[in-house]
Chains A and B, each alone.
Chain A
Amino acid sequence: MKWTRFSATAAVYLVLLLGALFTLGPFLLSILTAFKTREQFAQQSALTWPDPFTLENFALLLNGPAQFGRAILITVLAAVLILVGQLICSILAAYAFARVDFPGRQVLFWVYLSTLMIPPVVLVVPLYLMMTEVGLRNSFWSLVLPFAFASPYAIFLLREYFRGIPQELIDAARLDGANTLDVLVEIVVPLSRPIIATLTLITIVSHWNSFMWPLVVTTGTEWRVVTVATASLQSQFNGNWTLVMAATTLALVPLLVLFLMFQRSFVRSITIAGSA
């Protein structure tokens, strides 16, 4: 009895380990290959350790015509601007939906929620036309503007959270002469730190990873983001896998680090994100 129990546990660990190996394999292969020379890559198996260990691929990416450093900067800048814009607009809207009584509140909330059904793929073509018409195609702002004003999804999550804040706290501040903005800045936002942290992670991750819209709306290297730079490098240097794997490593590692730093909030944010 004890023995079968032990072997069952061993079997479970074996399956879990194989799963982990299979999950981590491609990441390790990408990172290992990024530090190899082209010669070693051509002559030895993919599973060998980099020898000599080289930073040449990264140097070529960052200083070469691919302008990867610029791409990283643009991606970070766009993601941060989107994050700030979305948080401000969403917090204001969520507070209105949660705590302010105004005519049309219910209808408007339904309109906001119904936009969650619109698949992003569908928006690419019309947004491209709109950006072209206003002369913003292939500009930094075309990466930011469509996402910087509101995220109905963030508004939904924030509203749920705000409704849990005791009304007495808000009333007390009101009696002390605080206006709506004071209430938001001094009471609502500080009390909502966990959900704001969650939204921050979701927004940063989804815009660091976003690909289709930047691919469509930008041309050339000027406003290229990391994913688009990686894709074009692959089609340009097909076969130069050490260089391409350096690019994928640069695209993947920042998020891996972020994930390992904020692991708990990440896991929670995925589950919250999913159940909204």
Chain B
Amino acid sequence: MRSRGSLRRRSAITGYALLAPSLFGVVCFLLLPVLVVLWLSFQSWDLIGPISFVGLDNYRSVLSDGVFGNSLVVTLIFVLLVVPIQTLIGLGAATLLTRGLPGSAWFRTVYVLPWICAPLALGVVWKWILAPTDGALNTLLGHRVEWLSDPALALPAVAAVVIWTNVGYVTLFFMAGLLNIPGQILEAARIDGAGAVKVFWHIKLPLLRPTMFFVLVTTVISAFQVFDQVYALTQGGPARSTDVVAARIYYEAFDAFDLGRAAVMAVVLLVILVVITLAQQLYFRRRVTYEMD
């Protein structure tokens, strides 16, 4: 018989041996980069020359020059355009697809297609569709609209492409949520004389609250990080009207070669998204299944 002590030691060794490769990855490629970006936000680096300490200079310059302020505002408007609209369309589609009509599964499959495809490639396709002279949309409409080069239209156009990409994803979750509602509840409401609209507002929608909350949080977080479609469609222009935070970080680092400023912006984005995630965790404790037993 082995003693309890040696058994525990053995199991500790096994545990850490199994964990070693992933721990290497988590430390090197997730935790260390967060420290590096924090450190870099206090340095000046142009990709070629030496890195030098500049204290709070990057923070002062980023927070005072208005370019990043513009990006934050643009991103916020983008989130406020994309999230409510795609949630409403997704909810509508899910309602229609859970009526038990034949062919619903086929429609669901079709709606999800854009979501699994490369956002960059879809962005390029839409770039052509929205092109001013030889674009598919303008040739169909029969007149020229500057979808992507008019500063007033560019952000809504990018938002529309992103909504088009995401609707299927949102629909899937609402479908799952709607199908989870017990049939007896709906049946009882109908027997009491509630019409379809009433059932939706007073029964389905309140019962969908967990799904709704989950969809809103995940889509807000991903909309805050939009990059591929912006890069393909507008490169942040015209006149910085689509210069979302992720695009600004990219151009600041690899176009203006100011890595320090890019690092500051990355830190700000990290803080914003961590706050959103933690707020969600606090509000949504019920869902959390992370506790070890």
Contacts and interface: CB of A to CB of B under 8 A. Distances in A.
Contact of B29 (A121, A146, A252): A146
Contact of B124 (A113, A208, A248, A267): A248
Interface in B173-212: 173, 176
A135 interface: no
A149 B231 contact: no
B80 interface: no
Given A208-B118, A227-B121, A115 B21 contact: no
A230 B120 contact: yes
A125 B16 contact: no
Contacts of B37: 122-123, 125-126
Interface residues of A, number: 96
B67 interface: no
Contact of A180 (B18, B110, B172, B263): B18
Interface stretch (A18-26, A54-62, A66-74, A192-200): A18-26
Interface string B253-293: 11000010011001101100110011000000000011010
Contact of B139 (A45, A209, A216): A45
B249 A105 contact: no
B63 interface: no
Contact of A46 (B14, B115, B136, B218): B136
B19 A252 contact: no
Contact of A256 (B103, B117, B119): B117
A164 to B, nearest CB: 13
B22 A92 contact: yes
Nearest to A116: B277
Contacts of A16: 93, 96-97, 103, 107
B229 to A, nearest CB: 10
Contact of B121 (A101, A129, A180, A230): A230
B31 interface: yes
A190 interface: no
Interface stretch (B53-61, B126-134, B150-158): B126-134
B15 A96 contact: yes
B270 A19 contact: no
B232 A122 contact: no
A244 B232 CA distance: 12
6 contacts: A29-B136, A100-B15, A122-B33, A125-B249, A216-B250, A274-B172
Interface of B: 8, 11-12, 14-16, 18-19, 21-26, 28-34, 36-37, 40, 45, 47, 93, 96-97, 99, 101, 103, 107-122, 124-129, 131, 134, 136, 139-140, 164, 167-169, 172-173, 176, 214, 218, 221, 224-225, 227-228, 231-232, 245-246, 249-250, 253-254, 259, 262-263, 266-267, 269-270, 273-274, 277-278, 289-290, 292
Q: Which A-B residue pairs are the 9 nearest by beta carbons?
A: A149-B25, A102-B15, A150-B22, A150-B25, A126-B36, A251-B121, A96-B18, A126-B33, A93-B22
